[in-house]
Amino acid sequence: MAELNTVARPYTKAAFEYALEKGSLDQWSSMLVTAAAVTQDDRMTLVLGNPALTSEQKAEVVISVCEEQMDEAGRNFVFLLAENRRLALLPEIFAQFERLKANHNKSVDIDVTTAFELTEQQQQKLTQALGTKLGREVNLTAQVDKSILGGVVIRTEDLVIDGSVRARIAKLAEAMNS
């Protein structure tokens, strides 16, 4: 997986810089999500894996499915990926593009898991506190998981704060067994 990440990075960076320069981050995001979904389809995977097709033909197949979503630059990007045999990277390129876009927009997606449903007021208070702590706009998604017993688990890309009762019990059990 680290290899896909590394190989996709220059393509993502180029696409992001182009979209930023043209003021079309949302349009590129839409194009990339569509193209990534198309390349992950089982039938499309068979077509793209066909050694009898040229890279140009493979690009044309992807573009023909995504045509309504793509502008000329998007089509050129798909042709470039196909020429370099990198169409399979589109899902990773999309994921990296979204991270760059969120970072640029100073926003972060956070998943919050609690044992009981949070009220709207609690969600707003948590969103505000996390926004202040992280210095970004927070897009909060709350979910309920009764197995954590109590407390809260907060997850974002590279941060996990586990304040659940289940985690505290596990730490206590580990300390007692040591």
Rounded to two decimals, what is the model's pTM? 0.66
- Given a cut of 80, whether residue 2 has pLDDT beyond it is no
Mean pLDDT of 97-106: 88
pLDDT digits (tens, 9 = 90+) for 135-178: 888 888 999 998 888 888 988 877 788 888 888 888 888 888 87
Q: What is the pLDDT of residue 38?
A: 93
Domain edges within the chain? 2-102, 106-177
| Fold of the domain spanning 2-102 | Peroxidase; domain 1 (1.10.520)
Mean pLDDT of 31-55: 92
DSSP letter string, the chain? -HHHHHHHHHHHHHHHHHHHHHT-HHHHHHHHHHHHHHHHSHHHHHHHT-TTS-HHHHHHHHHHHHGGG--HHHHHHHHHHHHTT-GGGHHHHHHHHHHHHHHHTTEEEEEEEESSPPPHHHHHHHHHHHHHHHTSEEEEEEEE-GGG-SSEEEEETTEEEE--HHHHHHHHHHHHH-
